[in-house]
């Protein structure tokens, strides 16, 4: 249980650091949100787009690894 809590703490600290570094970028080079109207919120939009992509990837990996096998009756 102790190593699990330590890994959660380290992962949370690392994620916070990466998000803060992404927010510090002043001149973004890649626009992921085509509906963005206000350029002041560009960094937040980019972070949420990346998090949405990660959620889709994790969901796909989870479903492919833990999919129930269907039993076919003949």
What pLDDT score was predicted for residue 28?
65
> Is residue 71 scored above 60 in pLDDT?
no
Q: How far is CA 42 from CA 18, 36, 38, 49, in A?
A: 16, 7, 7, 11
Reported pTM: 0.62
Q: How confident is the model at residue 55 (pLDDT cuts 50, 70, 90)?
A: very high
């Amino acid at each position: 249980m102790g190593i699990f809590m330590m890994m959660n703490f380290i992962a949370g600290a690392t994620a916070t650091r990466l998000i803060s570094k992404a927010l510090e970028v002043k001149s973004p080079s890649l626009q992921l949100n085509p509906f963005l109207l206000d350029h002041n919120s560009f960094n937040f939009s980019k972070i949420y787009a990346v998090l949405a992509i990660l959620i889709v990837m994790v969901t796909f990996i989870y479903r492919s690894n833990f999919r129930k096998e269907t039993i076919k009756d003949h």
